[in-house]
Amino acid sequence: MEDSSKPRNPHCLVLSYPSQGHINPMLQFSKRLLHKGVKVTLVTTKSISKTLHGSSSCTSIALEAISDGFDDGGIGAAGSPEAYFERFYKVGPESLSELVERLISGGPPPICIIYDALLPWALDVAQKFGLVGAAFFTMSCAVNSVFYHCQKGLLEVPVRKQVLLPGMPPLEPQDMPSYVCDLESYPTFFRVLVNQFSNLDRADWVLCSGVYELEQETADWFMKLLPFRTIGPTVPSTYLDNRIEQVNEYGLSILKPDHDTTMKWLSTKPKGSVVYVSFGSVAELRIDQMQEIAMGLKRSNCYFLWVVRPSEAEKLPQGFAKGTETSQKGLIVTWCRQLEVLSHEGVGLFMTHCGWNSTMEALSLGVVMLVIPQWTDQITNAKYIMDVWRMGLRPLADKERGVVRSEEIVHWIREVMEGERGKEMRENAGKWKRIAGEAAGEGGSSDRNIDEFVAKLGGKTL
């Protein structure tokens, strides 16, 4: 029988927006909480939970799902982002409330909801039940600052000239998150990102998957305004407790990784010789961009490992077949365990779209980058990788055609793999790897922030 006099571990619900780039950092944060004695239930949507492969890789993290109104198909079934968010904002609060009620009566009752900042209505649900409400941002401090300024009316949109924001380098329009400069193409995403800040003054905590030392002045600025804390990098690593996590994977993925094929292929390659190419879980490349990348990789004569999701595969040129080693010294896979790949010594360069998770993973594992951002925050992340942390280069797109040409790709791959710039970037990457590791390690800035969060939870009972 359970000893009722013994204090129970506090129980947190961690609610993630249903996409890979949100589930990964929130699952990893959940594992950190668990490590510090917190019971965690990770909540996603019914539609994405049907497609996830693997498990939380940690039996003590329970998984639950709420409805977004599109239980079969999610955003893809909604017809448009607008229809999706409208319905999710209606159905989500009810569905989350039902879950909270069930857990309150069936136990253990939650005392806190850590909610993805894209779902700000979850704060109302937390407060309705008298729970702690903690917003969780899966983008950088810099990008959050841009949308914060938009929400407060402090930034004129669409941005047409250089912008100076506290603690940040001057940002030209071409460095800004795409929605801020192009309101017409993505009105819903712009609104959703701005809306993250609409009720934030009521949140008990504002957690950000950035690293204090990487964006110190912006983080300091946010901390003066809000109960803001950095808790990144949200990357599992050997500096954390191996008993509670798989070292090099998150555990839940939208596609099944071609793991054995990938690792077998990588294991035969010399140290630092492979270009790893991935554009994440969402970006859709133009067909001519895919073909230029393919030609660039082929002409570079380097080994390459390229993740091409099934929905993108038909854009590949002839001769670039999935699964088998092609005549171009490359391997194309549907999905991989990216952390395992990035930490493999065969990988010398990451050609990336600069999603915030991919950026933090490469930085935390000390891998230099060739950046080809596509949209949203990726553009600002690319600017930081190049000009602030100086551990990556950005091949420029051809002005006429709007794509990065194969010649550029070959030139910059060689520059990084063999040239002086590559050497300097690798030195910087080593420094940032150490700093990110220290932030997450015991007594580091993020670790202390998580301790503070957990200590305050400990004092709260339902």
Stretch that binds ligand UDP, among 111-119, 183-191, 330-338, 365-373 (CB under 6 A): 330-338
Among 48, 192, 294, 307, binds ligand UDP (CB under 6 A): 307
Binding residue for ligand UDP, selected from 358, 364, 446, 449, defined by CB under 6 A: 358
Q: Does 253 bind ligand UDP (CB under 6 A)?
A: yes
Kindly tell me which residue out of 10, 18, 21, 120 binds ligand UDP, with binding defined by CB under 6 A.
Answer: 21
Q: Which is nearer to ligand UDP, 194 or 307 (CB)?
A: 307
Q: Which stretch binds ligand UDP (CB under 6 A): 19-27, 41-49, 100-108, 215-223?
A: 19-27
User: How far lies 122's CA from each of 88, 127, 240, in Å?
Assistant: 11, 9, 30
Q: How far apart are CA 51 and CA 33, in angstroms?
A: 25
Q: Which of 22, 149, 344, 353 is catalytic?
A: 22
Task: Tell me, yes or no, if 22 is annotated catalytic.
Answer: yes
Q: In what order do the strands lie in the sheet with 347-352?
A: 330-333, 303-307, 274-278, 347-352, 369-371, 392-393
Q: Where are the alpha helices (DSSP H) in 314-419?
A: 338-342, 356-364, 378-383, 406-418
Query: Among 44, 281, 300, 326, which residue interacts with ligand UDP (rule: CB under 6 A)?
Result: 281
- Residues 43 and 15 sit within 8 Å (Cβ to Cβ): yes
Query: Hunting for tokens 């004129």 — which residue is that?
Result: 156
Enumerate long-range contacts of 58-64, CB under 8 Å, 24 or more apart.
58/31, 58/34, 58/244, 58/245, 58/251, 60/34, 60/244, 61/27, 61/30, 61/31, 61/34, 64/13, 64/99
Pick 175 or 258: Cβ nearer ligand UDP: 258
Indicate the pairing of strand 205-208 with strand 303-307: unpaired
Q: Does 282 bind ligand UDP (CB under 6 A)?
A: yes
Q: Which of these ranges, 15-23, 61-69, 108-116, 151-159, lies near ligand UDP under the rule CB under 6 A?
A: 15-23
State yes or no: is 116 an active-site residue: yes
Number of residues that bind ligand UDP (CB under 6 A): 21
- Residue 411 CB, shortest distance to ligand UDP, in Å, is 25
Three-class DSSP category at 402: coil
> Where does 231-323 show beta strands of DSSP type E?
252-253, 274-278, 303-307
Helix (H) or strand (E) holding 423: helix 420-440
Task: Name the one range near ligand UDP by CB under 6 A: 14-22, 39-47, 263-271, 452-460.
Answer: 14-22
Give yes or no for residue 343 binding ligand UDP (CB under 6 A): no
DSSP E strands in 223-273: the ranges are 228-230, 252-253
Asked whether the beta carbons of 250 and 199 are under 8 A apart, the reply is: no
Output the smallest distance, CB 280 to ligand UDP, in A. Answer: 3
Alpha-carbon distance of 117 to 257, in angstroms, equals 28
Residue 289 touching ligand UDP (CB under 6 A) = no
Cβ at position 94, least distance to ligand UDP in Å: 27
Return the bridge partners of 40, or none: 12, 61
Residue 20: CB minimum distance to ligand UDP, A = 4
Q: Which of 11, 68, 116, 344 is catalytic?
A: 116
Choose, by CB under 6 A, the member of 357, 380, 406, 445 that binds ligand UDP.
Answer: 357
Cβ atoms of 212 and 300 closer than 8 Å: no
Which of residues 56 and 278 has its CB atom nearest to ligand UDP in the complex? 278
**Residue 230 CA: distances (Å) to CA of 227, 234, 396:** 10, 10, 32
Count Cα neighbours of 342 within 13 Å in the Cβ-side half-sphere. 29
Q: Does 20 bind ligand UDP (CB under 6 A)?
A: yes
**Per-residue binding letters, 110-129, with ligand UDP (x by CB under 6 A):** --------------------
Residues assigned a catalytic role:
22, 116
Q: Which residues bind ligand UDP (CB under 6 A)?
A: 19-21, 24, 253, 278, 280-283, 307, 335-339, 355-358, 361
